[in-house]
Structure 1
């Protein structure tokens, strides 16, 4: 799922972190005979502070330190993320950071949990995609071909259920366990390491369970109505033929800021696997990259129509300025990626075609602030619509308003719950 969170402010511990200790830990991890220095200017992410280290022989490493205070929930989260990253690194040739040393507690000389990994070469694709001096048809095709080939490797590793990848400490066999608190939940104060739901043997059951969890927390009538409408789409949109196993490991944020490429567009790294889960095949290895499905998350999609001047240079500059592709361009990109993925992976190509619809559905379930806009998109997709203002079509607003005042909703969720969120009409 795309990252909708903003970057965190600099956490207070950064100002007191002893970078000499961090350098010593890295040197010890390399048998203690090669000194290194730490770049004192960190990169801040949503959940981690990242430092870059360079050894005397030119080797570079990366240190990642969680922003959230240590807790048992964070320890469990880091352990599961390590398992998933190690699995990808050892079972495929996908270029991912390899873990060299880590601590999931504060009981270490640094006084913070940390992970040291290899450094991957390349440039973030997010810095190049809208650069007219780099972006062209050949490089775009190279990016898609390289990415589709790498992601196809995950199709060789099947799992029987939906959940989080874990490992048996005695047999070292991988298995799928339940979902544990996310980094979002931990950053909001969750400290318990106990599982919260799952695992699931069905895509349908998984989606409906996620909606039920949201319904249990809602009291406003309109929000309940929106979730009930979302429940309808969750029941009808996923392909019933793909409801059960096998399931596959999935990158949690398959977006261009997490993809590194070389000058030609070949992928040199897929980073930030924190929060990786085992899920439906349509939203795992076969899915579209998230930056070419942005129009299906309307709240986050910032494209603005520009006048057609006929000047290609002017249109390139406009694209660069707003850092968005038009809906028509995104649709073309999806067709191109679909054709490339199908050519490379003919047995699974059909999974890609409508994967962006399931992605939008999952975003709407998990992120309430995106829900109204995605529901409107899904309503028009399912029931049809027309952009002509003179022609009235069935819209999300119409459905939701009628649902929120219908006797069925009162009978389904209870009049008391409805009254808590607004009088039933």
Structure 2
């Protein structure tokens, strides 16, 4: 759900940032961290993530490591973020069999031979699922079923680790225990120039309070009638849709970007790695272990969903490769049913949470990324009011609701909770 950028907040491009890195110093640091001090070679062509430059390192005995170097200039906020991310990754690696990178060395300051913060981790085998999902020579019903079953099996393990509040996982070194602390600046905000390590909000003991608090902070800072109207409507959905029975503890650790670019698989589709846990938080169960993988919920983020069918004009040859690599809404709905079936076999008690988890995800995206908000609100309005017994509600649209909000003549009570919850179901 994070925005992606290849330019740091001080205007430095990624290529110029890379040119200044001393790869010999990086290799030397890896050699010092490795038992036996084996010689190490750094592959000169890195991979670029949203917030990190990634290098692959190979030792003389064939062992491979990964070096992740933040792009943003060092700040106390960056140091805090790296420390929190390490806590989450160490917790998962210690308490589950989810294949995540093991942290070998993590330096959160510039006081080292590289002159930059960095993290050295083990290398995970496998191929990014994003490279295989639309490959007709690999993508089969059996491979897809294996991916879903393997992924659901791994993620369901997080249900065994309950926490009392919503926030960020932290560790008390004095007493040797984990605890839930407040939210701190995210990688996105640090990339945008945030340098303060001070906490932002939380922790929360309620899903509704957490969601409404995040919206309220945006309302306070909002300018313009349209933006304010969107936020009021978003607040209505956030206040009504989540199931009251799921409002309180327990809460669970969740992956912040559960996309197929972060899933590694073998030739048969077995998951060999789940990477990029930066910005992991503890939150509601329907947004954590029970959620759908985000690449099969693409249609619930309409602005970012690039699928086009023949009825929308043009043909496949006119579309970019990216636009072609989208599953249709009908296909995505079928994939969600398949994943739900796989999860139900593992955890029938929580399966109903999975069924509606794509709605919770869309709600969180709309809160976090304002540019997606109008389209997601339109999708929610269609979902909530379509098929309502009240004929007047059938004709309600996002635009009409927004307009009535801006005129100050629309209140939550004029619709009522029973009409906001389609078929008596919650997310």
TM-score when normalising by structure 2: 0.90
Whole-angstrom CA distance in 1 between matches of 2:195 and 2:291 = 32
2:404 aligned with 1:402, yes or no?
yes
**8 Å CA contact retained: 1:120, 1:268:** yes
Pick which of 62-71 and 216-225 moved more: 216-225
- 1-structure distance, mates of 2:193, 2:320: 42
Q: Report what 1:339 is aligned to.
A: 341
Deviations 1:195-249 (A, max 9, x none): 0000000000000001011111101111111100011100111111111000000
**CA distance in 1: counterparts of 2:386 and 2:394, whole angstroms:** 11
Task: Normalising by structure 1, report the TM-score.
Answer: 0.90
The one of 350, 353, 369 aligned to 1:351: 353
Residue 31 of structure 1 deviates from its aligned partner by: 2.8
Q: Offset at 1:13?
A: 2.8
Query: What residue number does 1:271 align with?
Result: 275
Structure 2 residue aligned with 1:305 = 309
Q: Which residue of 2 aligns with 1:30?
A: 34
1:173 & 1:356 partners in 2: Cα distance?
33
Q: Give the distance between the partners of 1:162 and 1:41, measured in 2 at CA.
A: 39
- Retained in 2: the 8 A contact 1:124–1:261? yes
Conserved? CA contact 2:252–2:282, under 8 Å? yes
Contact 2:307 2:323 in 1 (8 A): no
Do the aligned residues in 2 keep the contact of 1:122 with 1:269 (CA within 8 Å)? yes
Partner Cα distance (2:33, 2:408) in 1? 64
1:283/1:358 contact within 8 Å kept: yes
- The corresponding residue for 2:327 is 325
Distance in 1 (CA, whole Å) between partners of 2:340 and 2:210 is 26
CA distance in structure 2 between the aligned counterparts of 1:297 and 1:189, rounded to whole angstroms: 27
Tell me what 1:288 maps to: 292
- Could you say which residue in structure 2 is the equivalent of 1:170? 174
Aligned pairs for 1:15-414 (under 5 A) are 15-306=19-310, 322-384=324-386, 393-407=395-409
Q: State whether residues 95 and 269 of structure 1, in contact with CA within 8 Å, keep that contact through their aligned partners in structure 2.
A: yes
Please, which moves more after superposition, 343-352 or 322-331?
Answer: 343-352
> Counterparts of 1:90 and 1:404 in 2: how far apart (Å)?
51
**2:259/2:293 contact within 8 Å kept:** yes
| Partner SS, residue 347 of structure 1 | coil
**What is the CA-CA distance between 1:385 and the residue it aligns to?**
6.4
CA deviations over 1:20-47 (Å, ceiling 9, x no partner) = 1100110110135310100111111110
Report the alpha carbon displacement of residue 320 of structure 1 after superposing the two structures with TM: 8.6
What SS is found at the alignment partner of 1:68?
coil
Task: Output the CA distance in 2 between the equivalents of 1:199 and 1:382.
Answer: 30
The change in CA–CA distance for 1:40 and 1:128 in structure 2 (over 3 A counts) is same
Mean alpha-carbon deviation: is it higher for 208-217 or for 109-118?
A: 208-217
CA distance in 1, matches of 2:208, 2:15: 40
| Cα 1:186–1:321 shift into 2, 3 Å | closer
Distance of 2:54 and 2:220 partners within structure 1: 37
Q: Deviations over 1:163-201 (max 9, x none)?
A: 000000201200000000011111111111010000000
Deviation at 1:402, TM superposition (A): 1.6
Separation of aligned partners in 2, 1:262 and 1:323 = 21
Give the number of aligned pairs: 398
Q: Corresponding residue for 1:415?
A: none
C-alpha displacement of 1:319: 9.4
- 5+ unaligned residues in a row in structure 2: which ranges? 8-12, 412-427
Structure 1 unmatched runs, 5+? 308-313, 410-425
How far the C-alpha of 1:362 sits from its partner, in A, is: 0.6
Contact 2:150 2:270 in 1 (8 A): yes
Whether contact under 8 Å (2:3, 2:188) holds in the other structure is: no
Is this contact kept in 2: 1:74–1:191, CA < 8 A?
Answer: yes
Q: Compute the RMSD of aligned alpha carbons.
A: 2.1
